[in-house]
Amino acid sequence: MTGTDIERRDWRSEFSTTQLATMRVGLPEGINSAQVRTSRAHKGYEDPDDHQHLYGIGMAYAAAKDCRQRLRELIGYSERPVPRSSRVTMHVGPHLIHVQRVGAQMPRNNLRIRLKSLSEARRERFEKASSDTYAQRPATLFDLPRSDDEQPVATWDDVAQHAAEEIRTGSLFVAYFSSTPEALGQMYLAPAQLAGNYLEFADPEPLIFRRTGQTTSSTSTKSTQTARVFAGGERPRTITKFRDD
């Protein structure tokens, strides 16, 4: 095991190939779907001061809902009710999956975002699932109880026990994005840990929304049909006139 292996564990290994592939497609598709619907509602509302309260609240609900719809068929996916609320949380295996809009622009430092509001219930969930397992850090893994004249030592049994505890409890993964009523901005998926009112991320992976071939095919077919109708239409007849020299 190299020093790099000790310092950072690749979070992608927490998911199966199918789970990871589904999240890479389903999460940006869900966020884009929410963007389309919420943007339409914002434009229809026509706030006289152009406030974006309706859009912001709408995206907070719609993005999570549309992402859930796209992950439900995934093996290992589950939803857990939030006490005293109509909301549910998303889980893939033991891991908590959260969708978060960061605002109109992604911060320059995309490894850290501030949460404008954080209920006690959500704070408790984030704290429970937070993990620094994937963060870049020195090779000292554990803070073991020791006397003042003793150096910290981590045995392989300690490593195995630590890993087993993390597998049982799972970790927090966040799909976070920026957006306005006009367009989606950047999207990322990353493991996260809560620090005060901030979420801190490790090794974020960009999420990319790709339009499906069905849309392109449909547009192409429609254009072809229009061209055929035009080509098959009756052409105006003109009389040829000869010029007198």
Q: What is the mean pLDDT of residues 151-173?
A: 58
Q: What is the mean pLDDT of residues 21-45?
A: 89
Backbone angles phi, psi at 60, to 5 degrees: -60, -35
Largest CA distance in the chain: 116
pLDDT tens digits for range 41-64: 767 667 666 666 778 888 989 999
62 burial level (CB within 10 Å; 0-12, 13-18, 19+): buried
pLDDT at 144: 46
Q: Which two tokens stand for residue 108?
A: 């320059």
Contact indicator for 217, 227 with CB cutoff of 8 Å: no
**Which amino acid is present at 174?**
V
Model confidence pTM above 0.85:
no
Contact indicator for 45, 1 with CB cutoff of 8 Å: no
Q: Report the alpha-carbon distance of residue 121 to residue 139 in Å, rounded.
A: 33
Give the helix ranges, DSSP H, for the chain.
3-7, 17-45, 53-71, 120-129, 156-169, 213-232
DSSP bridge partners of 161: none
Q: Report the alpha-carbon distance of residue 52 to residue 38 in Å, rounded.
A: 11
pLDDT tens digits for range 118-159: 999 999 999 999 987 887 554 444 444 544 555 555 554 554
pLDDT at 7: 54
